[in-house]
Amino acid sequence: MAKLILIRHGQSVWNKKNVFTGWVDVPLSREGVDEALRAGEQISDIEFDVIYTSVQIRAIETAMIAMASNKSTKTPVVQHTEGKMGEWTTIYNEAMSSNIIPVYRDWHLNERYYGELQGKNKAETAAVYGDEQVHIWRRSYDVAPPNGECLKDTAERTIPFFTENILPQLEAGKNVLISAHGNSLRSIVMHIDGLNEEEILKLEIPTGIPIFFEYANGKINRAK
């Protein structure tokens, strides 16, 4: 039985400042580091075979900090495939090469793109456009913020990536960790749990709290 663990990154600096972040690449706050450490304690007994993150630093930080508490003797190693990084990160020791957990970063797992809201304070934006309009931009399924993505747009990149890249790993019996973002993970959970457009709007994914799934007999189910 393969395990799938989803973790939304710990609190970021802009989460703390109540600012729309989207694709702006900000790091974890001190509280976010602590959340990642606590998440790591909850998954410390799981022997992961592969890790996926977005390309954004807050998701990468969360995965690596969480794995610092893992009891596995394997080392998480970020995979590089292009240019000098691809060539010069080759491991020339067979024992060490077989004792790593590959970490793949991919933009398909990035947070929802908030367009022209990025960098704006959420409360100040609500004062300008009204609470209802900002709520629609943040929580509706198919209404995007100005020049940004709606959740439907996000799902159109995350779900194919999940089915084409991550699902085969589970089918091969591998334990997978995904460290990503509130909306990219919401869209994946929508796919896994078979939620409709109304149900997904009610789903909250808090920062730094692992979500546990198991894959068996061709199905992914919430772990009991």
Question: What is the spatial distance between Cα 120 and Cα 139, in angstroms, rounded to a whole number?
Answer: 17
Q: Which residues contact 127 (CB under 8 A, 6 or more apart)?
A: none
| 17-51 pLDDT, tens digit each | 999 999 999 999 999 999 999 999 999 999 999 99
The residue from 111, 149, 181, 191 that is catalytic is 111
Q: Closest Cα partner for 24 from 60, 56, 59?
A: 56
Q: pLDDT value at position 201?
A: 86
111 annotated active-site: yes
Q: pLDDT value at position 178?
A: 98
| 114-172 pLDDT, tens digit each | 999 999 999 999 999 999 999 999 988 999 999 999 999 999 999 999 999 999 999 99
108 annotated active-site: no
Q: Does 224 have pLDDT greater than 80? A: no
The residue from 9, 108, 181, 191 that is catalytic is 9
Domains and CATH numbers, the chain: 13-115+152-222 (3.40.50.1240)
Q: Output the pTM of the full model.
A: 0.96
Helix ranges, 57-176 (H):
57-67, 83-88, 94-97, 122-129, 131-139, 151-161, 167-171
| 66-94 pLDDT, tens digit each | 999 999 999 999 999 899 999 999 999 99
Q: pLDDT value at position 49?
A: 98
Collapse the DSSP code of 176 into the 3-class scheme (helix H, G, I; strand E, B; otherwise coil) and give the result: strand
CA dihedral 56, 170, 186, 122 (to 10 degrees): -10
Q: pLDDT value at position 23?
A: 98
